[in-house]
Structure 1
Amino acid sequence: MDERVTVVVATRNRRRALAGSLPHHPRPVILVDNGSTDGSPGFVRRHFPDVTVVEAGRNLGAPARNVGVRMAGTPYVAFADDDSWWAPGALARAADVLDAHPRLAVLAARVLVGPQERLDPVCEEMARSPLGREPDLPGPSVLGFLACGAVVRGDAFLEAGGFDDVIFFFGEEERLAVDLAAKGWGLAYVDDVVAHHHPSPSRDPRGRKELATRNSVLTAVLRRPWSVVARRSLAALRQGPNGWRGLRTAVPRLRPALAQRRGLPPAVERARRLLEDGR
Structure 2
Amino acid sequence: MNASAPAPGASGAPSAPTPPSGSRITVVVLTRNHVRQTVDTVARLTALPEHPYVIVADNGSTDSTVGLLASLFPQVRIVQGLGDRGMTGFNRAVALAPTEYVACCDDSTWFAPGALAHAVQWLDEHRQVAVLNARVVGHDEREIHPACLMLNATSPGDDDLPGPALANYMAGACVFRTAVFRTLGGYEERLSHGGAEELAALDVLAAGHSIVYCESALAHREPLYRWLTRAQHCTHARNSAWVAWMRLPMRDALAATGRALVVFARQRSLGPAGFALLRGAFWALRRRRVAPAHVVLLTRQVRRAERLVRAGIPAMAEKYDRAGQRAW
Same fold, TM-score > 0.5, yes or no: yes
Give the counterpart of 2:299 among 261, 272, 275. 272
Report the CA distance shift for 1:89/1:65 in structure 2 as closer, same or farther (over 3 A).
same
Whether the 8 Å contact between 2:193 and 2:236 is mirrored in structure 1 is no
Report the CA distance shift for 1:225/1:57 in structure 2 as closer, same or farther (over 3 A).
same
The one-letter code sitting in structure 1 at the alignment partner of 2:236 is A
Give the counterpart of 1:99 among 98, 120, 124. 124
Give the counterpart of 1:192 among 169, 191, 216. 216
CA distance in 2, matches of 1:227, 1:201: 33
- Give the root-mean-square deviation of aligned CA atoms: 2.1
Task: Determine the structure 1 residue equivalent to 2:33.
Answer: 13
1:57 Cα deviation from its structure 2 partner? 1.4
The one-letter code sitting in structure 1 at the alignment partner of 2:124 is D
Structure 2 gaps, min length 5 = 1-19, 47-51, 307-328
Q: Does 1:138 align with 2:165?
A: no
Please list, as runs of the form range in 1=range in 2, the aligned pairs for 1:106-121 lying within 5 A after superposition: 106-113=131-138, 115=140, 117-121=142-146
Whether the 8 Å contact between 1:166 and 1:256 is mirrored in structure 2 is no
Whether the 8 Å contact between 1:30 and 1:54 is mirrored in structure 2 is yes
CA distance in 2, matches of 1:25, 1:262: 38
Structure 1 gaps, min length 5 = none
The one-letter code sitting in structure 1 at the alignment partner of 2:158 is R
Please list, as runs of the form range in 1=range in 2, the aligned pairs for 1:39-54 lying within 5 A after superposition: 39-54=64-79
Task: Determine the structure 1 residue equivalent to 2:314.
Answer: none
The one-letter code sitting in structure 2 at the alignment partner of 1:257 is A
CA distance in 1, matches of 2:142, 2:196: 24
Q: TM-score, normalized by length of structure 2? A: 0.78
Please list, as runs of the form range in 1=range in 2, the aligned pairs for 1:126-275 lying within 5 A after superposition: 126-135=151-160, 137-199=161-223, 203-239=227-263, 240-242=265-267, 244=270, 245-275=272-302
The one-letter code sitting in structure 1 at the alignment partner of 2:302 is L
Task: Determine the structure 1 residue equivalent to 2:98.
Answer: 73
1:274 Cα deviation from its structure 2 partner? 1.1
Report the CA distance shift for 1:21/1:97 in structure 2 as closer, same or farther (over 3 A).
same
**Larger of the two Rg values belongs to structure:** 2
Whether the 8 Å contact between 1:113 and 1:196 is mirrored in structure 2 is yes
The one-letter code sitting in structure 1 at the alignment partner of 2:27 is V
Whether the 8 Å contact between 1:31 and 1:51 is mirrored in structure 2 is yes
> Between the two proteins, what is the percent identity of the paired residues?
32
The one-letter code sitting in structure 2 at the alignment partner of 1:10 is L
| Length, aligned pairs only | 278
- For structure 1, which segment, 121-130 or 73-82, has the greater mean C-alpha deviation from structure 2 after superposition? 121-130
1:232 Cα deviation from its structure 2 partner? 2.1
The one-letter code sitting in structure 1 at the alignment partner of 2:298 is A
Residue deviations 1:92-113 (CA, integer Å, cap 9, x gap):
1111111111111001111113
Residue deviations 1:30-80 (CA, integer Å, cap 9, x gap):
111111112321121122222100112122221211211110010000001
Q: Secondary structure at the match of 1:151?
A: strand
